[in-house]
Amino acid sequence: MASLPEGFRYLPAYLDRPAQENVVEQIRQVVADAPLYVAEMPRTGKPMSVRMTNCGLLGWVTDREKGYRYQAFHPTTKRGWPAIPRELLDLWDARSGYPKPPEACLVNFYSDEAKMGMHQDKDEVDLEAPVLSLSLGNACLFRIGGPDRRDSTTSLRLSSGDVVILGGAARLCFHGVDRIYPGTSTLLKNGGRINLTLRRVRR
């Protein structure tokens, strides 16, 4: 029986349905300004199955040439990212336990076929701040291990409205999304799943 790392917090059904609908509307506005795009793996240029965009002062991006990084503008439009919606800033204030505001909100859109390989979030300078994640739409099978890629892992089904926080020892633990469960939510009319992750990037 594998155990979850210290600092991992799971808040099931943290947002009720009206609150989820509210956030989805805010994210629709973000996407209207900063369109979803297909990110590329460093060096190989292989496309990721997840489509992404960001809001906040900084956004996490990746492409073949420059690899993983944070930057202040959308890779396609070259415009600055839209602001993080107030509801998400409030969520951070309520649950992160961190005094400074988040600078980045990565918006990952998973089609019903999309996956995310096991990885660490380690492109932030400030690794003391937790990463706070909100799931919207179809459920997924989330998996988290330890700080070493070979560490044993635990799988967890995340549903719409669930919040997960990676802080403390969990902050640098490998994690990923093995599958989406199609048709498990009516929140998004066209299916799929949205994951929002709030991060503090700079000290």
Partner DNA sequence: GAGTTACG
Partner DNA sequence: GCAT
CB-neighbour burial class of residue 28 (10 A; exposed 0-12, middle 13-18, buried 19+): exposed
Q: Is the CB of 16 or the CB of 107 nearer to DNA?
A: 107
Distance from C-alpha of 4 to C-alpha of 153, rounded to nearest angstrom: 8
Bridge partners of 131, per DSSP, are: 166
Q: Are 29 and 53 in contact (CB under 8 A)?
A: no
- Identify the residue among 4, 6, 16, 46 touching DNA (CB under 7 A): 46
In Å, what is the CA distance from 190 to each residue of 118, 138, 187? Answer: 26, 10, 9
Instruction: Show the site string, 73-102: x = touches DNA by CB under 7 A, - = not.
Output: ------------------------------
Handedness of CA 190, 25, 102, 62 (dihedral sign): positive
Q: Is 179 in the site for DNA (CB under 7 A)?
A: yes
Q: Is 42 in the site for DNA (CB under 7 A)?
A: yes
Q: Is the CB of 47 or the CB of 90 nearer to DNA?
A: 47
Q: Is 48 in the site for DNA (CB under 7 A)?
A: yes
Interface residue list for DNA (CB under 7 A): 2, 41-44, 46-50, 60, 68, 106, 115-123, 141, 143, 149, 152-153, 155, 176, 178-179
